[in-house]
Amino acid sequence: MINSKPVKVLIFSPSAYGGIAEYSFYQASELKKAGAKVVCLVSPDFLQGRATDFEKVICLADSIPEGGSRLARKIRMAWQIVFNRLILAGQIIKHRPHLVLLDSYVEYFSPLWVWPHWILARLGKVCYAANLHDPVRSYAIGPDWWHSASVRLAYLPLDFVLVHETPREPSPVPSKVRVVQVPHGLYEISGTAPDRAIVRREWGVRDGQKVFLAFGYIRDGKNLDLSVRALVKFSEAFLVMAGSVASTNDKPFAFYRDLADRLGVADRCRFFEGFVNDNDLGKYFAGADFVILTYAATFHSQSGVLNIAARARKPVLASASPSALIQSVNQFALGVAIIPDSLEAVIEGMRNLLQTPPQPRWQEYEEASAWSKNAVGILAAAGLTLETTESAS
């Protein structure tokens, strides 16, 4: 155990926005609150310049801009990933932290960048950990042999990974890498609470209608077309979709608008395309009655949007493979969990929410998911103890 102060934690956060960047922000804030000296490596556009109480070092490459050919974007992405991880190696040598915490496990192009980190871990005795947000690595870049090698090599420097639910057997994590379970904390909703009635009036919601909110990255794996189709069955249901399209491979907002027009439900849909900043976040959850989290069977993780919905006290309609998301919804009655990839299941789930709303145990879930438990779990797994962490637990 390391008991001397200050305990230094170096967090690598190349994700500039979205759920992973938010997760890094809360994780870093709580580790600092626990008593660690936290340095977070970020890009210039990290969370749009949000103020932090932990130290930030702006040294990573910016997000890849839109536009250009598919090949050019892939080349820029490869360069960015390799460049950022080489910068990380230099920062580790400079700061000499007790723990290096990666915002997420990423295997892409690892044969090109892993070796300095393998040397630092093995010869330099640097402790590496990663947040394993997606334990099943189904998305592949390149041929199968390259993908398999990349996944295997990216684990080489890691001492342990952090998960929200222990992976099912056979575990995708190599046996030499420890798996540590920590909770996913709730996100705060900043700013002045908006007037719910005003928000709903601006959307055109009529008396007696219930609003289903689809929030965050708009991607095919969320099955949002099923929610549009399900509106046909419920005249009292209203759909609001807000966020950015995840990638050029995902259906654009125009697809959902056209689908709503063809089905005759466009008057009960509102679409807000674009990144939602912190100040506008509250109005979407204030105006909603329920939150849609209908992930496909390929989803095996926890949802950051669930933990905004929990803060806003909005029940969810959720689907996924067995995962921390489904476990949380069922254990704490946070909404209705359904089988994934099924229009009939979405219709039945909406019906259950509309007719017999659940009685969520919000406070119990919030206590079980405290960020302080996340931070204490990380420090304990790394063999780092601080006197101040006792009060944080």
Q: What is the DSSP letter of 45?
A: T
What's the average model confidence in pLDDT over 111-136?
A: 94
Query: For residue 27, what pLDDT band results from cuts at 50, 70 and 90?
Result: very high
Is the per-residue pLDDT at 1 higher than 50? no
Per-residue pLDDT tens over the stretch 142-170: 888 988 999 999 999 999 999 998 877 77
In degrees, rounded to 5, the angle at the alpha carbon of residue 46 between the alpha carbons of residues 44 and 251 is 115
Q: What is the pLDDT of residue 66?
A: 62
Query: For residue 294, what pLDDT band results from cuts at 50, 70 and 90?
Result: very high
- Evaluate whether 335 touches 315 at the Cβ level (below 8 Å): yes
Query: For residue 388, what pLDDT band results from cuts at 50, 70 and 90?
Result: very low
Q: What pTM was computed for the model?
A: 0.88
- The percentage of residues in the chain with a pLDDT greater than 90, rounded to a whole number, is 79
Query: For residue 137, what pLDDT band results from cuts at 50, 70 and 90?
Result: low
Query: For residue 240, what pLDDT band results from cuts at 50, 70 and 90?
Result: very high
In degrees, rounded to 5, the angle at the alpha carbon of residue 272 between the alpha carbons of residues 18 and 299 is 45
- Evaluate whether 21 touches 43 at the Cβ level (below 8 Å): no
Q: What is the pLDDT of residue 71?
A: 77
Give me 271's structure tokens.
């679409």
* Mean residue pLDDT across the chain: 92
Is the per-residue pLDDT at 393 higher than 90? no
Q: What is the pLDDT of residue 11?
A: 98
Is the per-residue pLDDT at 387 higher than 70? no
Q: What is the pLDDT of residue 166?
A: 80
Pairing of strands 99-102, 128-131: parallel
Which tops the pLDDT comparison, 191 or 215?
Answer: 215
Q: Which of 369, 376, 368 is nearest to 392 (CA)?
A: 376
Query: For residue 289, what pLDDT band results from cuts at 50, 70 and 90?
Result: very high
3-class secondary-structure state, position 271: strand
**Choice among 186-195, 228-237, 239-248, 382-391 with the minimum mean pLDDT:** 382-391
Domains of the chain: 8-183+370-392 (3.40.50.2000), 196-368 (3.40.50.2000)
Listing DSSP states for 327-365 in one string gives HHHHHTT-EEEE-SS-HHHHHHHHHHHHHS-----HHHH
**Choice among 181-190, 210-219, 241-250, 383-392 with the minimum mean pLDDT:** 383-392
Residues 6+ apart with CB under 8 A from 125: none
What's the average model confidence in pLDDT over 174-199?
A: 92
Is the per-residue pLDDT at 386 higher than 90? no
Residue type, 301: S
What's the average model confidence in pLDDT over 85-92?
A: 97
* CA–CA distance, 37 with 378 (Å, rounded to integer): 14
Per-residue pLDDT tens over the stretch 318-367: 999 999 999 999 999 999 999 999 999 999 999 999 999 999 999 999 99
Give me 312's structure tokens.
């806003």
Is the per-residue pLDDT at 2 higher than 60? no
Give me 359's structure tokens.
């009685």
Q: What is the DSSP letter of 22?
A: H
CA atoms within 13 A on the CB side of 158: 28
Is the per-residue pLDDT at 391 higher than 80? no
Q: What is the pLDDT of residue 390?
A: 39
CA atoms within 13 A on the CB side of 240: 25
Query: For residue 389, what pLDDT band results from cuts at 50, 70 and 90?
Result: very low
Query: For residue 278, what pLDDT band results from cuts at 50, 70 and 90?
Result: confident
Q: What is the pLDDT of residue 141?
A: 79
- The percentage of residues in the chain with a pLDDT greater than 70, rounded to a whole number, is 95
Give me the torsion for CA of 55, 58, 63, 68, rounded to 10°. 180
Q: What is the pLDDT of residue 4?
A: 52
Is the per-residue pLDDT at 370 higher than 80? yes
What's the average model confidence in pLDDT over 57-81?
A: 81
* CA–CA distance, 66 with 252 (Å, rounded to integer): 14
Task: Kindly report the number of other CB atoms within 10 A of residue 243's CB atom.
Answer: 23
Q: What is the pLDDT of residue 125?
A: 96
